[in-house]
Amino acid sequence: MQTVTSADGTSIAFEQHGEGPPLVLLHGGSSPQYWKPLVPHFAEDYTVTIPHRRGVGESGDSEEYHLGRGVEDVRAVIDAVEGTPVLFGHSFGGLLAIETARTASVTKVIAYEPAVLIGEYREQANLAAQMQERIDGGDRREAMKFYISEVMHGGQIENLDGWLAEWPPWPDIVALTENIARINRAIEQYQLPDSLDIDAPVLLLTGTEGPPHLRDGIRAVDAALSDGQLVEFEGVGHGGPTEAPDRITATVRDFIDEKETPVAEHGI
Q: Which domains does the chain have, with CATH numbers?
A: 2-119+192-267 (3.40.50.1820), 121-184 (no CATH)
Q: Report the share of the chain in percent with pLDDT over 90.
A: 80
Beta carbons within 8 Å of 5's beta carbon, 6+ residues apart: 11, 12, 76
Reported as a pLDDT band with limits 50, 70 and 90, residue 262 is: very low
Using CB atoms within 10 A of its CB, is residue 173 exposed (0-12), middle (13-18) or buried (19+)? buried
pTM for this prediction: 0.92
Distance, CA of 186 to CA of 183 (rounded, Å): 5
Residue 2 DSSP SS3? strand
Q: Name the percent of the chain in helix, strand, coil, to the closest 5.
A: 45, 20, 40
Measured CA angle at 26 (ends 21, 32), to 5 deg: 110
pLDDT tens digits, 52-92: 999 999 999 998 899 999 999 999 999 999 999 999 999 99
CB 27 within 8 A of CB 93: yes
